[in-house]
Structure 1
Amino acid sequence: MLSPSPVSSRTPSYAAVLRTPHAARTFGAALLGRLSYGMVSLSLMLAVNASTGSYSVAGAVMALYGATSVFLSPSRAALIDRHGPRRVLPPMAGIYAALLAALAYATWRPGASAFLLGALVCAAGAFTPPLGPVMRTLWSGLVADRELLRRAYSLDGVAEELLFVSGPLLVGVVVRFAPPAAGIAVSAALILVGTMALVSSPAVRGTDAAPSDGRAAGRDDAPAGQRLLSIVGLRHAVMVTAAVGLCLGGLDLLVVAFTEQHHRGTGAVSWVLAALSAGSAVGGIAYGAVSWRASNRVRLPLLAAGLGAAVVGAGLSPGVYVLAALAAVAGLFIAPALTTAYLIADESVGAGSRTRAGAWVNTAVNAGSSVGAAVVGLLVDRLPPAVCFAVAAVPALLCAAVVTRGAVSRS
């Protein structure tokens, strides 16, 4: 049964996380760099559209950027596991920032070449520094207690959620006073400054030669990613987060379709998605503050199932206000599910593979989100909204059932 265990007065708190030596400095630097990711997508889309005058080119450029950034994430993380963040992150961030600066220059005025922009975004996506996985690996080194580590991961997940809310707001401020390309330039500065501040932290010292772990080794002749995914716990975490991503990617598009069907403007979309993010933030904070008796591997499929059930319920909403309320309920499960998946990834491998393991979870949710949006986009004009919401929820519900059955059969 999933229930919180009694919390003693000595239960670690979020304040205790930030009081850990070097934690606040390291976390702050990582958040500064990760704010770049909250700004860059919208900045790129606006700048490319303004420069080329084509939504099709803007969409294609964003797809190329997302594909290279997401699918090469485990490879970049493998470099960090092998050589350490202090050796890999500075040149990676420097090249990435330089490519963003080139994109800002190319899109500052109308007439940019679509071919040139495509080449630049592919290169930029290939060098995107994996600051999220690196920070989660550093949390494992900073925090020894597992309860405190869960709170650290919850705090990290909620902060990341807020960055992706505040990032577009900052872009809105920038474009009031400058061309959209200025947002790309700001993103370049943020990633460079944040990364350099991160690698200068004392918490990063001694992480340059983390040995590979026997649990992640498997067969010596197998590819590294295959060896990692042969670990049952990590494989389940990746499966569930991919399903969560599929669900969320479809949900974003369905909110737009729902509000249009109910003759509401784009402002209603923003409110519903804000409710989803707010629910995720509240859920993440509450989840991290409670000590649970059930293990991470038991909780993860239950959280995914809760998300799926809430999305099914959202499809039955009679109006936008009810949809916003149910989106907030769905959000309650998002940050806890991702936090739990990252914890499983961390505990499934050793120190020499943690960045890669976290990157696989990160890749799964982002790739799932892209695929979910594409699939629902094909269905939204052909099926009733309630059916589309149910289809979007199926991956989370189905994967939760499969993972739960696998866990039961192994026990």
Structure 2
Amino acid sequence: MPNTVVDIWGPISPGAPASYPSAPEPHEEWSLAGGTAWVFYSPLNRRQLVRPVILSDGFSGGSSNLDQLWNGLEENGEFRFISELHATGRDVIVLGYDDRTASITDNADTVIDCIRRALSERVGRSKLVVGGFSMGGLVTRYALAKMEQDPGLPDHETSLHLSYDTPHEGAWFPVSIQGFAHFATDKFGDDPVAGPVLRQFSALLNSPAAKQMARWHLQKVDDTAEAAPERVAFLQALEELGGWPRAVRKIGVASGVDTGTGNGVAPGATAVRGNGRTLLDTWLKTQARGDQEVARLQKAGEEPVLVRTNGLPEVDGAPGGLFSAPSPEGDPGNFGLAALLMTLLGNEVDADRIATSCFIPSISAVAAGDINGQEALYQPIAPDRSALDAFLCASRNEGHTRMTEELGAWIVNEIVSSS
């Protein structure tokens, strides 16, 4: 268990990143300020950078891992995204970060460095395509907008920005899980088995990037869930840059549906309950509207701690990309991780439980409205509501950023048609 890696870009994986199949050797590796770019030339371009597509990693713990990224883009889904781009003559630059939990604005400087390098290496005058997955779409969005507004920066020479299940209007970390992570870390952070994962998970939720992305954040178990000051400051900084890059076509996809149909997670349901050696009747509930107790947390021998919310919509069941959807490989989902940790702490967990929930609501991924409102979350998304020039939502609620033929092929077609 000490090797468990809490991973938001893809699954929560019971194994070290090295357990992913090895990626092919990149043709070039660029060392950047704050990150690394792995360059894969199209076979059609004779190892020259002719039509660059920069794809940014997103939010997770630690540094970017090429094997993991390659697996998500080429091997783990049903659509070989890089291979399809190569077949159209596009060269793919996979952009990773030294710290995926760092501030979006800090990692945006790494994007700018990558764009500079791509422009200097490019043969010909083809415009760039720049974008990313999950938070990577936000980092690249900010970077391009900054390059347009800052006279000290060069022209980004980019024609298209793409985002894949990006939290343009905020991400959802269930408040009950945030509360449990902080509570359990405080009470059991020194546990030799569960302690390392608890500390990592709590730190991940309180990282600069998580605070900027999360629509509702809980710093400590007894705090009120609200937008963190870091999110407020980030949104203000983005607005000062115009909100979006202006000189590019903006496209995006959502891993959730646009029909308003939820994922089936009922509001106010008990997602996980544990009881035993270290916990007494400890449970987490899915989010409902109104004044609600979303978690009861009790260490044996101590008084219970209650986590409450008020005025939040039913986000756990909303249409959107699912947080680490459970899989045959053993990825437990977010509520499933809480169940796993309760078990490792020496408790029995009820067999009847909910594993996962919405992570990026569809309206957030296609920039079509504030996720604050119940009606907005659950109504069909009309094209004229989106800040994007074009978007596609999945035909069913998929795992967050899962590469599917439906979404991947649409992006490839958009890239080709935009050139």
TM band (smaller chain): under 0.3
Instruction: Using CA pairs under 8 Å that are at least 6 residues apart, name the structure with larger relative contact order, 1 or 2.
Output: 1
Taking structure 1 as the reference length, what is the TM-score of the superposition?
Answer: 0.26
Calculate the TM-score normalised by the size of structure 2: 0.26
Query: Which structure features the higher share of strand residues?
Result: 2
